[in-house]
Amino acid sequence: AQRVTQPEKLLSVFKGAPVELKCNYSYSGSPELFWYVQYSRQRLQLLLRHISRESIKGFTADLNKGETSFHLKKPFAQEEDSAMYYCALKNAGNKLTFGGGTRVLVKP
């Protein structure tokens, strides 16, 4: 069975500081990994996906198959980055499994 683990429920950082959200997964096949974000009072939306290998809003995430991780990083956090972040894994059957989420609070 596939599983996604986000060990940190809350990350509190100061503006300008680096932030890293951890995500580990277990899946026997070839996974596709995503990060979704939910800002206050807004809907859940895609932030980035590993196959795109792009940087969105300054965030990057690298799939490490050896460590089965897909950590999300941003070198300089901004106040507008405060949100809930969900790591998700999609299997070959198009089923998305979400992690428990990490709340990021960026303090001024």
Partner 1 sequence: ETGVTQTPRHLVMGMTNKKSLKCEQHLGHNAMYWYKQSAKKPLELMFVYNFKEQTENNSVPSRFSPECPNSSHLFLHLHTLQPEDSALYLCASSAGGLQETQYFGPGTRLLVL
Q: Which residues bind partner 1 (CB under 8 A)?
A: 4, 32, 34, 36, 42-46, 49, 51, 86, 88, 90, 92-101
Write down the least CB distance from residue 44 to partner 1, Å. 4
Closer residue to partner 1 in complex, CB, 93/108? 93
Instruction: Spell out a b/e string for 65-100, using b for 16 or more CB atoms within 10 Å of the CB, else e.
Output: eeebbbbbebeebeeebbbebbbbbbbeeeeebebe
φ/ψ of residue 30, rounded to 5: -95, 110
Q: Which is nearer to partner 1, 15 or 90 (CB)?
A: 90
What is the closest distance, in whole angstroms, from the C-beta atom of residue 41 to partner 1 in the complex? 9
